[in-house]
Structure 1
Amino acid sequence: MSHPSPANPLVAIGGLGGSGTRVFAATLRAAGICIGSCLNDPLDNLWFTVLFKRAEWCRLLPSAQEVSEAADLFRRAMTTGLRGTLNPEEIALLTRLRNDLPPGGSWHCGASAADADALMGSAAPGADPDQPWGWKEPNTHVFLSHLARCYPGFRYIHVVRDGLDMAFSRNTWQAQHWSHLYGLERTPDTPLPLHQLRYWVLANRAALDLSAVQMRGRFLVVSYEAYCANPEQYWPRLRRFLDLPRTTALPDNLLQPTTIGRSQHHDLSVFPPDLLAAVLEMQAEVARLSTPD
């Protein structure tokens, strides 16, 4: 298998919250890629959550240096462990992040103080040190430009789900907390589905544009609906993207598609025609980019 040095990740998986990234995390884990030990039910890597989904970063864009420091801590935790290696500044940072999280803190980002404790006390994994590793956390795409510089050679899978379905998703965390990064603000009279759909267009556009400039050949966009309809057709491309052996079979029984087509049960008149046109254009682009060779 050809992959970057074990010090750097092989792959990360991201997309808007609720895009179906769990399917791909489960698939890669079953194929032998370590995605971490501190995971929630959707298989989000909670060490990444602790380090990157910070309350302060939802108010003010982090500097490249801050993201680089977080990326270094994450890499070390995933490869050699942080226990006994932290300097005073790193201890202070991780303690502050821990204290922000439940049950003692009020920052609800999906991680808890216990996850931060596990991060600070992480030890070297017992698995083969040459085992390829990566992670899944939907918010990865927000930091992708920085991460591409911090982790030379790593690859990224961006999962895109139908924009109209996503507009009515109950997973609204990203649109509520990151929209300002894309120049989008929600006014009090803006319906949440409208805000969600605008965010879907802007965030996915930013990721696709970045792929052409900074991650050429290392960025794979996948349509969730197309993959669910025919995973066997898409698996060879995904396998080649990660340099997995040809003998690596598609893991069974990992697809659990739900709520595909939910927008059909909602009133779409809340969306202006120009936004609907932008959604259709983006979905056509995603379909073209994700179609197997």
Structure 2
Amino acid sequence: MIFKYFERPVIVIGMHRSGTSMLAEALHHAGIHMGVHRDHNFEAMHFLSINQRAMWAAGADWDRPAVPDEGHFDTWSAKELYKIHFQIKNRFEYIFSRLADRPWGWKDPRNTFTLPHWLKVFPKARVVHLVRHGWDVALSLSRRNQVPGEVYSSMLDDPLNGFRLWNVYITQAMKYTNCQILHIRYEDLLEFDINTISRLEHFLERKLKIHLEKVLRKTLVRNVHYPIEIVENEWIKKFYPH
């Protein structure tokens, strides 16, 4: 199919501190263009800005999220978003880029709540939902609160609040059943689980293993003891049954 990638961007969703930055970096190295202008979390700045403004307009934010209404979003066409993403300056560059038909996409945890809008703009988008154990996410958020210059949310000093926020994100992500979506675990990528990587490669039609090996810089550390609220959580039981 010619020009298939224009209307099929890869949209990465998932809770903050769940490995989405690592995944986005691997996808970019694998040839899925994740944006010319990206921040240190590998988030395309224009999509991040649109998501953030929509959530603010809805009276929400990343740590108290909600699904914005359509009226809360800036009005951008698919063509305009594509041109900004690739920093296309003129008609010739646009025609050349469309003919090259480069795979592309973007990552932002806020996509978890703004996805209904993006699916209206790009109905054929492929969505990757990366899941990390909620308690590990909560502990990571609490530690990040202690890093000067990083995003800070006072409620996340308490890891239980971080876990509850994780539950809000994953509950929202699991509602998307009307789109092409793949749910994978961060821990499986860290352990180079062949089945998980094969599913991801098949889903994105792209070889990823060598690129994941380059960006995975952490080793998996498994917690043994969890508060009862974590053990009894429905999503923990679904994604981490053992």
Contact 1:175–1:195 (8 Å) recurs in 2? no
Structure with larger Rg: 1
Residues 127-142 of structure 1: pairs in structure 2 closer than 5 A: 129-142=100-113
Pick the aligned partner of 1:203 from 169, 179, 188. Answer: 169
For 1:222, what is the secondary structure of its paired residue? Answer: strand
CA distance in 2, matches of 1:277, 1:209: 22
1:22 is matched with 21
**Contact between 1:222 and 1:286, CA under 8 Å: does it hold in 2?**
no
Structure 1 pair 204/176, CA: closer, same or farther in 2 (3 Å)?
A: farther
Q: Matched residues in 2 for 1:22 and 1:194: separation?
A: 23
Residue in 1 that maps onto 2:215: 254
Q: Deviations over 1:35-76 (max 9, x none)?
A: 111112331111211221127336256431443625645334
Aligned to 1:286: 239
Give the letter for the 2:218 counterpart.
P
Residue 189 of structure 2 corresponds to which residue in structure 1? 227
Q: 1:68 to 1:153 in 2, by over 3 A?
A: farther
Note if contact 2:36-2:86 (Cα within 8 Å) is conserved in structure 1.
no
1:15 and 1:236 mapped to 2: Cα distance? Answer: 20
Equivalent residue, structure 1, for 2:127: 156
Secondary structure of the 2:100 match is coil
Match of residue 63 from structure 1:
69
**Could you say what the CA RMSD is over the residues aligned between the two structures, in angstroms?**
3.5
Aligned-pair identity (%) = 21
1:78 paired residue number: 85
TM superposition shift of 1:19: 0.4
Match of 2:43 in 1: 44
TM-score (norm 2): 0.75
Q: Is the 8 A contact 2:58 2:72 kept in 1?
A: no
Stretches of structure 2 that go unaligned for 5 or more consecutive residues are: 61-66
- Figure out how many residues of one structure are paired with residues of the other and give that number: 223
Structure 2 Cα separation of the partners of residues 29 and 66 of structure 1: 29
Match of 1:108 in 2: none
| TM-score calculated relative to the size of structure 1 | 0.63
2:34–2:44 CA contact under 8 A, matched in 1: yes
8 A Cα contact 1:13 1:25, kept in partner: yes
Q: Distance in 1 between the 2:158 and 2:122 partners? A: 35
Q: 1:4 to 1:136 in 2, by over 3 A?
A: farther
Structure 1 residue aligned with 2:204: 242
Say which SS state the counterpart of residue 34 (structure 2) adopts: coil
SS class of match (2:140):
coil
Change (3 A) 1:225 1:259: closer
Flag structure 1 segments of 5+ consecutive residues without an equivalent.
Answer: 86-122, 178-185, 289-293
Secondary structure of the 1:138 match is: coil
Q: What per-residue deviation string (whole Å, max 9, x for no partner) do you get for residues 237-285 of structure 1?
A: 11111133xxx36223221126744x66xx95xx5x4x32443x31332
Rounded Cα–Cα distance in structure 2 between residues aligned with 1:4 and 1:260: 43
Task: Report how far residue 159 of structure 1 moved.
Answer: 0.7
Aligned to 2:75, what secondary structure does the other structure show? helix
